[in-house]
């Protein structure tokens, strides 16, 4: 495949996916770290690590007391029938339990504080080289006993194809509300995979996001490419106590196994996007996903 | 619940399960280690550890060359359509891939050598205090990318209720054919759980083993009991290279998470039972499961 390509709607697509019948692996076209060590708060060693591996884990970023307030809010949400029936709530396909609630930075005063926390925003601004807004936020419950796996994926592949983010100038921040152990289905990443773009096969069905948030079927990377990425970079599962934070690049391949332990693996997930990387029309040519999954209107920088 | 109880068929049942509407936790009525250190090969420190934790992991038990021969045989079996159609072959419900093949000590010359390996049998004899035969054997493929989880269970619960093993004088031996890492869905055990018997709720439907070997629905321990066992004993996942071996008591609570990594987690599983603990009629009152799952005829000791 040669790229960039021109889409049917006249867009220039530097990261085409879901258009061929064979998977392919393209080189990343964008920087990884946009800011400088002088901008702080991350020093140059940490910036270099993020650049190389595609993620950065910071232990004890939040105190136990701060985390407890967010956990209490999660418990309240989980037990609230009205919250679980909201369109922003995603339910586990088998058990009917709460899996995620989206757009928590808009609808929940307690969790908004966390999503816009100045210490998180400062790191996002440094890595992305300027003002950022929240493209997506959610709380993942990942219950004990019946927590389902999340298969390998690059977030950017979906955000590009389905939401229209043009460039890799976006990152995720995962805040652990419970301990991440080797047993309770922790986030697993493939270091270095953010430098390659795995173009997936198939097409994007209309309004498939309702099912895909529960169980992924489109934008799934092929096994050969995954095998090669793991052979090169290995697999790392950042572990730590509640209050640890992991920043990772939008194109880093990641996933998690199921969780049969009694220990939930709950986290808050915030996606910061550069204000200079506003979404265009989705590159798949379909209508965009709803705003609780992908912001399209409010690009006001957070932290200003 | 008071026990032992008398079953409808007049058996004395010291470990009743699947008869009440509430789960209950009973004390173990049988020894854990039946033999002595003088009998060898395990020294008294290792016997004490097995007694306390309910399992024992031995790294580099088999050489790389020995393991390669078994891996080659697994690859041959996986690619053989006739082998995969045999009644002893269990297929993953979603992907249609090979999950397990049972009774390998009867039907496969290469794997029979492993199942009857004198070094394995010697340890089984010591732990169970005398001659043993093979109650069950299987090879678990647990493929990469799509390996499903095995939910928590005590093997003894099923072997007692459905196969009629009267006492806890049985153990499993898991031989790793591939590395067990923290990422590829390794066996997880709850140390100390072998001292408690979690009686499960519900009943046993007839011939349900066909489905239960793919996905467990009966004999499932309740979440409260599991939570208490984990609170007391924690969770341990014995890890190691190919060729490591884990012995574990028939009543040890164990399970494993899914495996989305490219790395398969294949192992051979052999169940040794004391010749003095031959199966009776199943305690659920139903016909016994087929002999490829639970031996009922050939009690000749192995290793003699």
Does A34 contact chain B (CB < 8 Å)? no
Helix then strand count (H, E) for chain B reads 9, 14
3-state SS record for chain A: CCCCEECCCCCEECCCCCCECCCEEEECCCCCCCCCHHHCCCCHHHHHHHHHHCEEEECCCCCHHHHHHHHHHHHHHHHCHHHHHCCCEEECCCCCCEEEEECHHHHCHHHHHHHCCHHHHHHHHHHHCCCEEEEEEEEECCCCCCECCEEEECHHHHHHHCCCCCCCCEEEEEEECCCECCCCCCEEECCCHHHEEEECECCCCCCCHHHHCCCCCCCCCCHHHHHHHHHHHCCECCCECCCCEEEEECCCCEEECCECCCCCCCEEEEEEEEHHHCCCCCCCCCCCCCCCCCCCCCCCCCCC
The SS3 assignment for B124 reads helix
- A67 assigned to some structural domain: yes
- B188 assigned to some structural domain: yes
- B10 assigned to some structural domain: no
Structurally, chain B folds into a number of domains equal to 1
The SS3 assignment for B72 reads helix
Radius of gyration over alpha carbons of chain B, in Å? 18
Distance from CA of B108 to the nearest CA of A (A): 31
Does B143 contact chain A (CB < 8 Å)? no
Does A223 contact chain B (CB < 8 Å)? yes
CATH number for the domain that contains residue A149: 2.60.120.620
pLDDT of residue B98: 81
Give pTM, 2 decimals.
0.90
Query: CA-nearest residue of chain A to B181?
Result: A182
- Alpha carbon distance A291, A289 (integer Å): 7
- B124 assigned to some structural domain: yes
Chain A hits for B235, Cβ within 8 Å: 181, 183, 261
A213-267 residue pLDDT tens: 555 567 899 999 999 999 999 999 999 999 999 999 999 999 999 999 999 999 9
DSSP character string of B11-61: -EESS--SSBSS-EEEE--S-S--S-GGG-SS-HHHHHHHHHHSEEEETT-
Which residue from A181, A223, A237 is facing B262, i.e. has the nearest CB? A223
- A245 assigned to some structural domain: yes
Span A114-143, average pLDDT? 95
Query: CA-nearest residue of chain A to B235?
Result: A183
Contact flag A257-B257 (C-beta cutoff 8 Å): yes
Does A188 contact chain B (CB < 8 Å)? yes
Which residue from B182, B256, B262 is facing A226, i.e. has the nearest CB? B262
Domain holding B208, by residue range, is 15-274
Which residue from A152, A185, A262 is facing B257, i.e. has the nearest CB? A185
- A127 assigned to some structural domain: yes
Chain A hits for B257, Cβ within 8 Å: 149, 183, 185, 257-260
Could you read off the pLDDT tens digit of each residue along chain B, which spans 304 residues? 556 788 777 889 999 999 888 889 999 999 999 999 999 899 999 999 999 999 999 999 999 999 999 999 998 988 887 777 777 888 877 777 788 899 999 989 999 999 999 999 999 999 999 999 999 999 988 888 888 888 999 999 999 999 999 999 999 999 999 999 999 999 999 999 999 999 998 777 776 666 665 555 678 999 999 999 999 999 999 999 999 999 999 999 999 999 999 999 999 999 999 999 999 999 988 899 999 999 999 999 998 7
ipTM for this model: 0.88
Does B258 contact chain A (CB < 8 Å)? yes
- Alpha carbon distance A281, A52 (integer Å): 31
- A9 assigned to some structural domain: no
- B254 assigned to some structural domain: yes
Span A93-97, average pLDDT? 72
Radius of gyration over alpha carbons of chain A, in Å? 18
């Amino acid at each position: 495949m040669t790229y960039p390509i021109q889409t049917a709607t006249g867009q220039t697509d530097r990261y085409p996916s879901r258009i061929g019948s064979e998977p392919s692996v393209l080189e990343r076209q964008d920087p990884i770290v946009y800011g400088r060590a002088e901008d702080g708060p991350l020093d140059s060693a940490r910036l270099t690590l993020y650049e190389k591996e595609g993620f950065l884990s910071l232990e004890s970023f939040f105190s136990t007391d701060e985390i407890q307030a967010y956990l209490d809010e999660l418990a309240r949400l989980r037990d609230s029938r009205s919250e679980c029936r909201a369109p922003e709530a995603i339910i586990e396909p088998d058990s009917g339990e709460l899996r995620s609630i989206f757009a928590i930075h808009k609808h929940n005063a307690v969790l908004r504080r966390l999503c816009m926390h100045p210490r998180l925003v400062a790191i996002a601004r440094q890595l992305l080289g300027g003002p950022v807004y929240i493209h997506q936020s959610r709380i993942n419950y990942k219950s004990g006993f019946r927590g389902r796996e999340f298969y390998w994926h690059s977030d950017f592949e979906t955000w590009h194809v389905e939401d229209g983010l043009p460039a890799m100038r976006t990152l995720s921040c995962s805040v652990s509300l419970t301990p991440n152990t080797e047993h309770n289905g922790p986030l697993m990443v493939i270091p270095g995979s953010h430098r390659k773009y795995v173009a997936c096969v198939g097409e994007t069905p209309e309004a498939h996001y309702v099912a895909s948030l529960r169980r992924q079927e489109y934008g799934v990377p092929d096994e050969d490419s995954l095998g090669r990425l793991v052979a090169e970079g290995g697999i790392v599962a950042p572990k730590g106590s509640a209050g640890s934070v992991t920043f990772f690049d939008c194109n880093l391949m990641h996933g998690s196994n199921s969780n049969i332990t009694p220990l939930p693996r709950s986290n808050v997930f915030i996606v910061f996007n550069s204000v200079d990387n506003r979404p265009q029309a989705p590159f798949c040519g379909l209508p965009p996903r709803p705003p609780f999954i992908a912001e399209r209107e409010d690009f006001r920088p957070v932290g200003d």
